[in-house]
Structure 1
Amino acid sequence: MQHLWQLWAAVALICLILELTAGDFFIICFAIGAVPAAIVAAIGAGTYYQIVVFAVVTLVSLFYVRPFAKRYLHKGEDKRISNADALLGRQGRVVEPIQAGGFGRVQIDGDIWKAVTKSDTDIPEGANVVVVDRASTIITVEKM
């Protein structure tokens, strides 16, 4: 147990290496917690105190260091919308007629989506449409 500080140092080093592959500043918090635990172990404190120091410092860094790092080190990255929200404003082609008050199908980039329209008129097959809204996996379209 005299050289337990080396184990904590190895944990810190491994966490730093793993953080390089992830890049979301989560694993680095464990590395930050392992460094004071290694110092406490080198001083000669018991295993219980080492674990408590590791846990406390890791939790503090999760709540304070990680948000700070994400805010300042990921500044300037574009905020990409993903999934169904990325469909808003996209154009597509009707592959199954959309009945007023009913459903049809629209193809956008090779994917086919269930679609409705707010207008009182039907949208025929082959018409070009634009996505104006969505509710779950059903998109609302307007004729272009």
Structure 2
Amino acid sequence: MDILKDPVIIWFLIGLFCVIAEFFAPGVIIVFFGAGAWVVALLCLGSEISTAQQITVFTVVSIGALVLLRKRFNPPADSGPDIDEFIGRTAVVLEPMRRGRPGRVTFKGAAWKAETTSDEWLETGRSVSIVARESILLFVESIPEQESMRK
């Protein structure tokens, strides 16, 4: 398979792997290494550069992009006005949960990993209140049945 000896293909596949891996590892980090690999693939497409130069360009571009752009794509969870839009809002349980056993909730049309702050078993379909957020994890507590009927 001579195609797998082509540095353009190798760097492109490394970049593709990194971009796909980003979907499974939260934090917006791996995607920058994917971008670095794709930059090297483009450089290899236009000219012959040594393996050492390829690795140097990959490292410089990946780390440079990570340092310069990460905050733009992934602001700290406790900053900005968007944190307030979660706290006190109502979500619906998708996967049952209790303290120590995370589940999932739906909020604003998206599924979120969630943990409850109470010992109560929260069943699917139950309305819960969001009390905190850490990155992509929501912390919820049950809403008394009478109160959830009013909302």
TM-score for the superposition, normalised by structure 1: 0.49
Higher Rg of the two aligned structures? 1
